[in-house]
Chains A and B, each alone.
Chain A
Amino acid sequence: MTLSTLWFIVIGLLFSIFLFLEGFDFGVGMSTRFLAKDDVERAAIMSTIGPHWDGNETWLVTAGGAMFASLPLWYASLFSGYYILFLLVLVGLILRGVSFEFHKHAETSTGRNLWMWAFFIGSILPPFFLCMILLSMVQGIPMNANGDAFPKFFDVVNLLSVVGGVAGVLLSLVHGLNFIRLRMEGPLRDRARNLNKILYPILFLGEVVFAALVFLQTDFFTKRFTSSLIITALIVLFSLLGYYGVLKNREGWSFAGSGLSLSMVIVLLFNGLFPRVMIATNPAHSILIKNAANSQYTLTIMTIVAGILVPIVAIYFIWSYSLFTKRINPRENTVKY
């Protein structure tokens, strides 16, 4: 395996970890409207990810940085080609990021409401548009020989990309509710489970439609039939595991299931992309990993650096989670975040 292929996998891994972690952050943000009934509950829900959200988001920053550092032509084409959508992702991340701190300082109910809504909207925009970007690109978009992408409106907004965006949001919500079940106690914990009992059947329907559209609209199943089929099956299987955990009240299983479902979406997309990173309508203009990659020298340095740093990060990252395991009960030990 060449180093550039290795880095393609690393980027995929980083995005998978990001979606697993920030997926529940997004879902927790959405739960402030779909699950909570009053300000006290909203604040309590928000506090479940208080110590973690920034670290979780760093996986996205790292994935973007890794893309720039290893396959810069991919980074350049993707980010410039989907300019407006990335802008909307950024607006979401900005509103969300400041809402934690600003909400603490708001003293009127209007102020608290404002930042809670910023938290909510900022939790929907990024998963929706990130999924939309990826699922638009894998269908093939107009590109030139320089690698500049010029997707037209219906290249960006079409059945698959919208279904993909909605599925990403729904899966994040389900994942967030599973996280809340794991981290809270009292009525919110029960209501999260009840809500997921309703959401899972909708999610399965969404996943079937999504799989059918991927089959029809992309070349994933013509290029790599077996692996695409297996990974698609895994997405559904992990979701079933999550549903099983909902029915049997096994919270850990639910959480692992919904998180791995999210990660598998990235695996499906990266598996289908390989050995390409951008798919153009004119196959000659598609960008291949080997053409997008940095020099052997730079990739070697990055491999060494990442090989040393990622395990260290993983250790203190997991340790930081182990510090906050006590369940939160909104009526007992927290009011404001």
Chain B
Amino acid sequence: MLSVGLSIVSLARFQFAMTTVFHFFFVPFSIGMGFLVAIMETIYAVKKDKVYLDMAKFWGKIFLLSFAVGIVTGIIQEFQFGMNWSEYSRFMGDVFGAPLAIEALLAFFIESVFIGIWMFTWDRFKPGVHAFMIWMTSIGTMLSAIWILAANSFMQHPTGFKINNATGRVQLTDFGAVIGNPQLWRVFPHVIIAAFMTAAVVITGMSAYGLLRKKKNENHFFKTSLRFGLWASLIFAILSAGAGDLQTQQIIKDQPMKFAATEGIYEDTKDPAPWTVVELINAKDHKASGQLEVPGVLSILAYHRLSGSVKGMNTINKEMHAKYDKQFGKNMDYYVPPKTLFWSFRVMTGIDALIMLVSLVGLIFSRKKKDTIESHKWMLVILGLCIWVPFIGNSAGWFITEFGRYPWIVYGLFTIAQAVSPTSTVATLLFSNIVYFLLFTLLGGVMIWYSRQTLHHGPYYEEADSKQNVDPFAKEAFGK
């Protein structure tokens, strides 16, 4: 029976991971694209430079493709707390439902209504008014991020609650504390900036491919887009590192195990603490070896000081046993998956550094005076290949956040194993896992295919039947 029980939890976890990771390919990209397209359209509205209108329209198409996949995979998220994690929903309903409902009321309505208007009113509103519609959409997507991260931050670091002794469930006592959760206001900038960076890198990469095609009439368009994307990705890559640093400060306080695992520290470090670049992790025996260390750097990363040691996982495990054994029993395993966290952190930060470097080099090569980037094909190819990189970085970041919470679903209060629906069976979970997997493969593949096709057509593509292909709500059609 135990093995069946375990596989229900692992299947449910796998499904949650699959649906959220897939959803989160498109969410940061959409948030970023909405924001950058809004900026493009605003530049057009102010400067009346037509290339920015072309950019808003062209990149808007890519934005809409991603937005569509983001929406439909988002509905799954709202349903699956009840479907797969009903015990979690019962335990957390008093705290968790409110941000979700507010997200729908405050954010989803804004984005869904205004994106509908934006899509169909290019010819009906003045540029400034039309840009307002995409700004509303963009604000909606960002508000949505705040509320879902508020919910997630509670799971990372519960605040403003008590445990109701009669029901054994979480009870909200201070809504302000949930909104003011320090975790939230450190994770939100990090996520939102990474979202902007993701979109900027994709715009840069697709523009690089566009330049590779060497079409005369598109050169100005893709060159402007490339420079726009490079500037944005450089700025946001730098800001992202800063935001990540702020978040780290909070994690050391709230979730020391997560921090120790991202740095692969089993035993308490020396003072000042050295930073391990790479090492071999033996997760089974809770040991690490072959460290390549830089002295003193971890103290700076962790405390912004030149001194201070960092607790290792073995110490923290003992502390957590002392703290939680009474309630959760002696058999709990408080070690988070160390290799996943250690390497995810290095992948994430490495990608951020890579994007900074590539953006900087790209900017140098594409300076207006020197028309050299077109003649450096290798540089364009590198920029093109970088399209995929931020998506890996985003996923790695969430791996740290979510795997680093193990074994808790709500930190210190409720374990993952407690949270799963008692109604779940292996058969139904396998079925839904397969259905989602097939659907996601289809959606992801088609989305990439149509984006590629859009790029292939370029910004000045006239569809064969364009004469008839008039926007049904266009001004002429609309005249009463």
Query: Can you offer 27 A-B residue contacts whose CB atoms are under 8 A?
Result: A50-B119, A51-B119, A58-B109, A58-B112, A62-B104, A62-B109, A68-B101, A72-B96, A75-B97, A76-B421, A78-B82, A80-B86, A84-B432, A87-B431, A93-B72, A101-B65, A102-B68, A105-B453, A105-B454, A107-B453, A294-B94, A295-B164, A297-B175, A302-B101, A317-B109, A324-B120, A324-B473
Q: Is the CB of A65 within 8 A of B439?
A: no
Q: How far is the CA of A66 from the CA of B109 in the complex (A)?
A: 14
Q: Is the CB of A68 within 8 A of B89?
A: yes
Does residue A52 face the partner (Cβ distance < 8 Å to B)? yes
The residue on B at minimum CB distance from A333 is B477
Contacts of A67 in B (CB 8 A): 97
Does residue A61 face the partner (Cβ distance < 8 Å to B)? yes
Whole-angstrom distance from the CB of A305 to the nearest CB of chain B?
6
Contacts of A55 in B (CB 8 A): 109, 112-113, 116
Instruction: Fill in one digit per residue for B63-88: 1 if any A CB lies within 8 Å of its CB, else 0.
Output: 01101110111011011011110110
The residue on B at minimum CB distance from A78 is B82
Does residue A230 face the partner (Cβ distance < 8 Å to B)? no
Q: Is the CB of B93 within 8 A of A148?
A: no
Q: Is the CB of A83 within 8 A of B424?
A: yes
Q: Is the CB of A102 within 8 A of B450?
A: yes
Does residue B16 face the partner (Cβ distance < 8 Å to A)? no
Give the residues from 35 to 78 in chain A that come closer than 8 angstroms, CB to CB, to chain B: 44, 47, 50-55, 57-58, 60-62, 64-70, 72-73, 75-78
Q: Is the CB of A51 within 8 A of B93?
A: no
Q: How far is the CA of A335 from the CA of B90 in the complex (A)?
A: 49
Q: How far is the CA of A54 from the CA of B110 in the complex (A)?
A: 11
Interface of chain B, helix or strand or loop or mixed?
helix
Q: Which of B247-255, B282-290, B464-472 contacts A (4 or more CB under 8 A)?
A: B464-472
Instruction: Fill in one digit per residue for A322-337: 1 if any B CB lies within 8 Å of its CB, else 0.
Output: 0110101000111110
Other-chain residue from B112, B421, B439, B470 in contact with A94 (beta carbon distance below 8 A): B439
Q: Is the CB of A65 within 8 A of B101?
A: yes
Q: Is the CB of A336 within 8 A of B477?
A: no
The residue on A at minimum CB distance from B171 is A295
Q: Is the CB of B75 within 8 A of A90?
A: yes
Does residue B306 face the partner (Cβ distance < 8 Å to A)? no
Contacts of A61 in B (CB 8 A): 75, 78, 104, 108
Residue of B92, B103, B104, B428 ringed by the most chain A CB atoms within 10 A? B104
Contacts of B478 in A (CB 8 A): 326
Q: Is the CB of B79 within 8 A of A79?
A: yes
Residues of B in contact (CB 8 Å), total 78
Whole-angstrom distance from the CB of A325 to the nearest CB of chain B?
9
Q: How far is the CA of A81 from the CA of B469 in the complex (A)?
A: 47
Q: Which of A155-163, A171-179, A308-316 contacts B (4 or more CB under 8 A)?
A: A308-316
Which residues of A pack against B, CB within 8 Å? 44, 47, 50-55, 57-58, 60-62, 64-70, 72-73, 75-81, 83-84, 86-87, 89-91, 93-94, 97-98, 100-102, 105, 107, 146-150, 294-295, 297-298, 301-302, 305-306, 309-310, 313, 316-317, 320, 323-324, 326, 328, 332-336
**A54-B115, A68-B81, A334-B470 as given contacts; A87 in contact with B435, CB under 8 Å:** yes
Instruction: Fill in one digit per residue for B134-177: 1 if any A CB lies within 8 Å of its CB, else 0.
Output: 00000000000000000000000000000010000001110100
Q: How far is the CA of A85 from the CA of B67 in the complex (A)?
A: 26
Q: How far is the CA of A149 from the CA of B120 in the complex (A)?
A: 45
Does residue B309 face the partner (Cβ distance < 8 Å to A)? no
**A50-B120, A317-B109 as given contacts; A76 in contact with B82, CB under 8 Å:** yes
Whole-angstrom distance from the CB of B126 to the nearest CB of chain A?
14
**A68-B89, A72-B94, A149-B423 as given contacts; A335 in contact with B465, CB under 8 Å:** yes
Contacts of B473 in A (CB 8 A): 51, 323-324, 326
Does residue B39 face the partner (Cβ distance < 8 Å to A)? no
Other-chain residue from B78, B114, B424, B480 in contact with A64 (beta carbon distance below 8 A): B78
The residue on B at minimum CB distance from A105 is B450
Other-chain residue from A101, A298, A313 in contact with B68 (beta carbon distance below 8 A): A101
Q: Is the CB of B79 within 8 A of A90?
A: yes
Q: Is the CB of A313 within 8 A of B477?
A: no
